[in-house]
Amino acid sequence: MELNKLTIKEARQKLDKGEISSFDLTKICLDRIKKIDDKVKACITICEKEALEEAKKADEKIKKGEKSDLLGIPYIAKDNILTKGVKTTAASKFLENYIAPYDATIIKKLKNEGAVLLAKSNLDEFAHGASTENSCHRPTHNPWDLERVPGGSSGGSAAAVAADMCIFSLGTDTGGSIRCPAGFCGVVGLKPSYGLASRFGLISMTSSTDVPGPITKTVEDAEIVMGVIMGKDENDATTVEFKNEEKTKNNIKDFKIGIPSEYFDEKVDKKVIDLVKKAIGELEKKGAKVVEISLPHTKYTVPTYYIITPSEISSNLARFDGIRYGVRQGEGDDLENVYLASRGKGFGEEVKRRIMLGTYTLSAGYRDAYYLQAQKVRTKIKEELDFELEKVDCLITPTSPHTAFKIGEQADDPILMYLEDILVSGPSLAGLPAISIPCGEIDGLPVGMQIIGSRLNEKILFNIGNIFQNITDWHIKRPNI
């Protein structure tokens, strides 16, 4: 097997046995990026020199007998995660030359483990999008079909893993931005519980739903990465110190799976429904108990999400004014002119659209009618999910309502693009963990299955995900590129 195709577990075993070196593994991944990224366009900044130096250091540590799960393992990070001394652009003209003065907490943790940063990956500008078309650099292409999107906003990270440019990657998920691209690209994407991993050093989109998480080739690898990046951080008051003491379930007969009818209705492609139901049937044949449930507030998740999200965006992006952050535009001493010129030229169309929506919903006379009402509905959505998850171990749904669409196909219809989040925004609003794993293909394009768990119970996602991958082989399929 080519080294860049290894999983974390496989690479770890070979590194510890001395069968391969981190330097060789890193070099092969970098060569792979050079070979195919002109087609996929997953990377913004490649850190070749730094990566090879870090790989040499990792090899020295391994020779000394040091051990850690990610020592010497090459990865790619989404370009809205701060990396000291390396450009972090958030795929925006506003930050096209910004070099972070410090590492995000999750990057620092990976550095401490000895993981090797290969590159920064493309995304929708400031993570605003569902296709990775809204980048100031260029759209990313799906390695399964280069005419199609990889999903968003972590499309670069998902495409890089699917195309074997790295062993794993990091993304961020606000309303599906890890899970959707993982589903479109046929890889594993984990949105952890809100607060399980630090947001310190992430360029904020929606502070109340943003979470960093791994995109990997297997569920087992996602668990390994999450074990490193999780934990309390004094720089992020929303983080929690948590250790799951629940007894691991390895017997499929111990699982009770809830199937929400609202996630399998006419808004989802029938072929996707059939594939996900077939996957659930595989678990049922092995002994899992499957029960139909109802989540009637599901229809309100996207409207609620797209009131709360632009509201927080308009607040979070206020700091980008051409003075504190970003490329300054405008002339003279007129401060308002500097603000208008800098933000007008620095932000892309989707970012401007969300700022205007958010400013409107927070404005005098509309805040109570829109923003506060949305927060009340959000509470109902959370209560409904929590209630059902007390009766079952997890919920299983499709990740996306269809397979990857063609680049440009939905670019002129913002509402259609917002509806891409219809199956994934609920867990985000509720702060619940959810994982997308590949469960089949339609016309050569991957389909993702979403597993949702109760808050801070990632363990159940790993258990059921590993069981599914042990009885199927969808996770080992890769695009021919």
Residue 319 has pLDDT above 90, yes or no: no
Which of 21, 131, 157, 177 is catalytic? The answer is 177
Nearest-CA neighbor of 280 among 477, 476, 472, 475?
Answer: 472
Question: Which position has the higher pLDDT, 12 or 247?
Answer: 12
Is the Cβ–Cβ distance between 393 and 257 less than 8 Å?
A: yes
The 10s digit of each residue's pLDDT in 253-310 is: 889 999 999 999 999 999 999 999 999 999 999 999 999 999 999 999 999 999 999 9
**78 in catalytic set:** yes
Question: Which position has the higher pLDDT, 171 or 367?
Answer: 171
Which of 27, 41, 78, 191 is catalytic? The answer is 78
Lowest-pLDDT range, 45-59, 326-340, 408-422?
Answer: 326-340
**169 in catalytic set:** no
**204 in catalytic set:** no
pLDDT, position 253: 87
Which of 21, 22, 153, 157 is catalytic? The answer is 153
Residue 342 has pLDDT above 70, yes or no: no
Is the Cβ–Cβ distance between 74 and 26 less than 8 Å?
A: yes
Taking the domain 3-250+426-476, which CATH number applies? 3.90.1300.10
Task: Report the distance separating Cα 281 and Cα 275, nearest Å.
Answer: 10
Residue 318 has pLDDT above 90, yes or no: no
Report the pLDDT averaged over residues 209-234. Answer: 98
The 10s digit of each residue's pLDDT in 106-121 is: 999 999 999 999 999 9
Distance set, CA 257 to CA 106, 273, 293, 475 (Å): 32, 16, 10, 21
pLDDT, position 364: 85
Residue 244 has pLDDT above 70, yes or no: no
pTM higher than 0.85 = yes
Lowest-pLDDT range, 79-88, 107-116, 302-311, 362-371?
Answer: 362-371
Task: Report the distance separating Cα 389 and Cα 95, nearest Å.
Answer: 41
Render the burial of 147-167: b for 16+ CB within 10 Å, e for the rest. Answer: ebbbbbbbbbbbbbbbbbbbb
Is the Cβ–Cβ distance between 78 and 169 less than 8 Å?
A: yes
Question: What backbone torsions phi and psi does residue 210 show, to the nearest 5 degrees?
Answer: -55, 135
